[in-house]
Structure 1
Amino acid sequence: MKKVILITGASSGMGKETARKLIQEGHTVYTAARRVEQMQELKTLGGHPIQMDVTNEADIQRVVDTIIQQEGKIDVLWNNAGYGLYGSVEDIPLEQARRQFEVNVFGLASMTQKVVPYMRKAQSGTIINTSSMGGKIYTPMGAWYHASKHAIEGFSDCLRLELAPFNINVVVLEPGIILTEFGDEVLKSLGQFSSAGAYADLTRRLVASTKKTYERGSGSKAAVIANTVLKIVTAKKAKTRYRVGRWAKPLVWLRTYFGDRAFDKLIMSQVQA
Structure 2
Amino acid sequence: MSNIIITGSSRGIGFEMAQLFANEGHQVLALSRNEKPISELKHKNITSFSFDISKKEDIQRMEDFINKTWSCVDVLINNAGKLLNKPFLDSSMEEFEEVYKVNVFGVARITQSVIPHMSKKGHVVTISSMGGVQGSAKFPGLAAYSSSKGAVITLTELWAEEFKEGGPSFNVLALGAVQTEMLEEAFPGYQAPVTALEMASYIKDFALSGHKLYNGKMLQVSNSTP
Structure 2: distance between partners of 1:176 and 1:25: 26
Larger Rg: 1
Aligned to 2:212: 237
Aligned to 1:108: 107
Task: Tell me the CA shift for residue 227 of structure 1.
Answer: 1.8
Aligned CA distance change for structure 1 residues 86 and 169 (closer, same or farther; 3 Å): same
1:135 and 2:132 are equivalent in the alignment: yes
Task: Tell me the CA shift for residue 238 of structure 1.
Answer: 4.1
Structure 2: distance between partners of 1:228 and 1:148: 23
Structure 2: distance between partners of 1:71 and 1:117: 13
Aligned CA distance change for structure 1 residues 44 and 55 (closer, same or farther; 3 Å): same
Q: Which runs of 5+ in 1 are unaligned?
A: 187-209, 252-273
Provide, for residues 197-240 of structure 1, a one-character-per-residue CA deviation record: whole Å limited to 9, x for no partner.
xxxxxxxxxxxxx2331xxx333101222222222233161433
- Give the one of 107, 121, 130 matched to 1:124: 121
Task: Tell me the CA shift for residue 82 of structure 1.
Answer: 0.5
Q: Which runs of 5+ in 2 are unaligned?
A: none
Aligned counterparts, 1:1-273, within 5 A: 2-44=1-43, 46-119=45-118, 122-136=119-133, 137=136, 138-186=138-186, 210-213=187-190, 217-235=191-209, 237-239=212-214, 240-247=217-224
Higher helix share: 1
Structure 2: distance between partners of 1:149 and 1:233: 19
SS of the residue 1:174 aligns to: strand
- Structure 1 counterpart of 2:35, one-letter code: V
- Return structure 1 stretches of 4+ with deviation > 4 angstroms: none
- Structure 2 counterpart of 1:175, one-letter code: L
Task: Tell me the CA shift for residue 56 of structure 1.
Answer: 0.3
Task: Tell me the CA shift for residue 50 of structure 1.
Answer: 1.8
Counting matched residue pairs gives: 220
SS of the residue 2:43 aligns to: helix
The two structures have a TM-score, normalised by structure 1, of 0.76
Provide, for residues 153-200 of structure 1, a one-character-per-residue CA deviation record: whole Å limited to 9, x for no partner.
1111111111111131101011111111103433xxxxxxxxxxxxxx
Task: Give the CA RMSD over aligned residues.
Answer: 1.7
Structure 2: distance between partners of 1:184 and 1:64: 34
Structure 2: distance between partners of 1:102 and 1:3: 29
- Structure 1 counterpart of 2:37, one-letter code: Q
Q: Is the deviation greater in 73-82 or in 177-186?
A: 177-186
